[in-house]
Amino acid sequence: MELIPSETSLVVAGAWNAAILTPGWVMQHAFQKPLEEQGRVQVFLPALQGAVFEFPRYVIDNMAYIVRPDALVVAPNESSAECLALSEDAVTRIVSVLSHTPITGIGHNFEFRDQNPSPASLAVFTESRQDLVDQMPQGWIPSATAIVATFKDEADTVQVNMQRQWDGAAVTVKFNFHHPVTSSEQARQVLDGTNGYRRMADNLELARQLINRIYSGDPQV
Q: What confidence tens digit (pLDDT) does each residue in 38-93 have? A: 567 788 777 665 555 578 999 987 899 999 999 999 999 999 999 999 999 999 99
Q: What gap in Å lies between CA 90 and CA 11, rounded to an integer?
A: 13
Q: What gap in Å lies between CA 197 and CA 185, rounded to an integer?
A: 13
- CB neighbours (10 Å) of residue 171? 22
For the whole prediction, is pTM greater than 0.85?
A: yes
Query: Per residue in 136-177, pLDDT tens?
Result: 999 999 899 999 999 999 988 999 999 999 999 999 999 999
What average pLDDT does range 122-140 have in this prediction? Answer: 92
The answer to whether 48 touches 65, Cβ cutoff 8 Å, is no
Closest CA to 171 of 104, 118, 95, 109: 118
Find the angle CA(114)-CA(116)-CA(120) to the nearest 5 degrees.
85
Residue 206 three-state SS: helix
